[in-house]
Structure 1
Amino acid sequence: MHAPPDQLGPDTFRHDLVLYSSAEELAAVAVPFLRAGLEAGAAAVITTSDPSAAILRDALGDDERVHVLPRGEVYRDRTPAAITAFRRLAERVTGHGHTQLRVVGETWFGRTPREWLEWQRYEAVLNEAMRSWPTWGLCAYDLRQLPDELVDSGLRTHPHLVDAGGRRPNPHFTEPADYLRALPVPDEPLEATEPLLQVDDAKDFAGLRHTVGARLAQLHGSRDALEDLHLAIDEMSANAVRHGGPPVQLRLWASADRVVCRISDGGTGMDDPFAGYGPAHGDDLSHGGMGLWLARQLCDHVDVVDGPDGLSVRLTTLLR
């Protein structure tokens, strides 16, 4: 178990939550938070909805140390890209002499429960992925907009709560690994239908790559998205061979709006809920460990199921 963030040094990630129901409530917490950071030599970033960003920027005045970033630049389509964006921001500001990066951010969860899940995972993963980065994040959750399920998720993934009365430990916080393991793997109705491609014991992987590519080429949709999926399938098939055990199986389904591929192996599995949110060996990519990380960036949804018979990775790409 990690020590609570306020017992750690200034170079350690802090991950706070403010729940608000009006712009005034948000400003009452976020403005003092950013001002205190500026006084301590930190850089300040606001990446929220446009109305919230305008109110906070006006309250802080014309200070060149305050940067307003479009929410879409940070909370991108894929969660690993958002983690990378925050790491690069922290690296950039500390390289320019700032002691810390302070961020007020509003996570963009998407429009459907299936999209929400990726960002619920992200909020938990962030506690581990940013643990040694000099960043203090204040996540703003608008109670007028977010469903109860997402508010509950926020309460479970942020170690501290902040309101106008101050900052305090969050009694609802759940250890990130435990939270991630407890999240459900959503049902995929396509898996109950006849697959477009079924391979029960893959041994010829050059042939498998060609066969998968030929099936994907028959589908209508974004060529870029299908090529990304093809690469992700190839990476996950290679992972199954290197790290899993026989038989390596593959199922591919397609509908008018999405393509789903499940790659399974009969190995001992992998009990690491943080896998794939960064290269396994950090910035030194020569050691490998990129497969699942690439898949999470190339596909809209990646579900990892660690079962008694081995490991399965389900990749989903939307046909936009």
Structure 2
Amino acid sequence: MRTGAAAGHLRYFHAAVEYAHDDDLLAVTLPFLLEGVANGEPSIVAFGERTAGLVRAALPAGSGVEFLPGGDMYARPSSAIRAYRRLLAGHVAAGAGQIRIIGEIPVSAFGNTWDWWARYESAINHAYDDFPLWSMCAYDSRITPPEVLADVARTHPRYAVGGGRHEDSPAYTEPRVFLSESRPPVPDPLQAGAPTVSLTGPSPADGRRAVHAAYRGQIPAPDLDDLVVAVSETVTNALRYGRPPFHLRVWAGDDRIVVTVSDAGAGPKNPFAGLLPATEAATGGRGLWITHQSCNHVAAATGDDGWTIRLIAGNPAV
């Protein structure tokens, strides 16, 4: 049974909390959590260390609120979706009629990697629709860039404004529309120079060899293995679903490896590809899902010359 502001709502109830003072965050968070506990609903916090500490200190002892390691939950967008879906399914199997979660994406995501987190915030409006979830995503306006807050308004149907009240976001954009927009990634500085490896018409095996050729210890060996798999899957998708000519380029830096794969096609037709768990019927979806699990940043955009996907293993926040 749904309660609170989500009462009568059949699907995912998704809200943003934009705050400028810690007291404002607590004024929304504490009633949300304590009301959930009182109703017998799983009530969960996925904050970073500082804000989690604020909430812990303000809650009564033995409150019954569960705390997740916020940094671990938000390692990568597709991983977060996978972890949350597993968590939600477990609570539903245990009989939960509603689940309450308040979380925050780490501030480190507000830089060069924000594009895929904006896509995450949009995609989860669909990804969690089969669960009785009421969640709030907290954004501290003191440290959140204006362009990020603009995306928050477009990816959250509503704002929690205190007193249990919510207001609709006039800028909210349906996920299929938002995710279909071309959002060119912030260029990596390495891409201003000549690539370490450049291939036209590569095979998946060529892609794997190109990554190994660029490797000189920039990333841990397991991350190298993941990147090799991701590049192989990406080249396979390009050859299977894209249009020639096909190009693969690799740049090697001190702390990262950057790979782009491009073709003359329009890219995936499914705007959720890569972010949501793939099915056998999803065209190219399984390879993109694997790729999003395997890299530290994945971004793609359509231009005049076709579609390009960029993979980064290592440190993408430069």
Calculate the TM-score normalised by the size of structure 2: 0.86
Distance 1:83 1:201 in 2: 34
Aligned counterparts, 1:1-320, within 5 A:
10-63=9-62, 65-76=64-75, 78-110=76-108, 113-165=111-163, 166-180=165-179, 181=181, 183-202=183-202, 204-206=203-205, 208-209=206-207, 211-218=209-216, 220-281=218-279, 289-318=285-314
For 1:252 and 1:58, the matched residues in 2 are separated by 48
Structure 2 counterpart SS, 1:110: helix
Q: What displacement does 1:51 show?
A: 4.0
Q: Deviations for 1:92-129, whole angstroms, at most 9, x for unmatched residues?
A: 11122211210011211416620333322221222122
CA shift in 2, pair 1:7/1:44, >3 Å? closer
Q: Which runs of 4+ in 1 moved over 6 A?
A: 284-288
Q: Is the deviation greater in 241-250 or in 88-97?
A: 241-250
User: Identity across aligned pairs (percent)?
Assistant: 35
1:19 deviates by 1.6
Q: 1:288 to 1:193 in 2, by over 3 A?
A: closer
Residue 265 (structure 1) shift: 2.2
* Alpha-carbon contact 1:270-1:306 (below 8 Å) kept: no
Contact 1:11-1:135 at 8 Å conserved across structures: no
* Paired positions, count: 310
Shift of 1:297: 1.5
Structure 1: how far apart are the matches of 2:52 and 2:192?
A: 45
CA distance in 1, matches of 2:40, 2:6: 20
Cα distance in structure 2, aligned partners of 1:57 and 1:224: 36
1:194-250 CA-to-partner distances (Å, cap 9, x unmatched) read 221121123x543x1453244134454422222221111101011111212333221
TM-score normalised by structure 1 residue count: 0.85
Range 248-257 or range 170-179, more displaced: 170-179
Asked if the contact 1:40–1:99 (Cα under 8 Å) also holds between the matched residues in 2, the reply is: no
Mapped to 2, the partners of 1:163 and 1:63 lie a distance apart of 27
Q: Are the counterparts in 2 of residues 42 and 100 from structure 1 also a CA contact under 8 Å? A: yes
Change (3 A) 1:7 1:65: closer
Q: Which amino acid in 1 is paired with 2:140?
A: D
Q: Which amino acid aligns with 1:186?
A: V
For 2:175 and 2:153, locate their aligned partners in 1 and report how far apart those are by CA, in whole Å: 12
Q: Unaligned stretches of 5+ in structure 1?
A: 1-5
CA 1:133–1:250: 2 relative to 1, 3 Å: same
Structure 1 counterpart of 2:311, one-letter code: L
Aligned partner of 1:105: which letter? G
Supply the distance in 1 between the matched residues of 2:315 and 2:169 (Cα, whole angstroms): 40
1:39 Cα deviation from its structure 2 partner? 4.0
Amino acid in the other structure paired with 2:33 = L
Structure 2: distance between partners of 1:107 and 1:210: 32
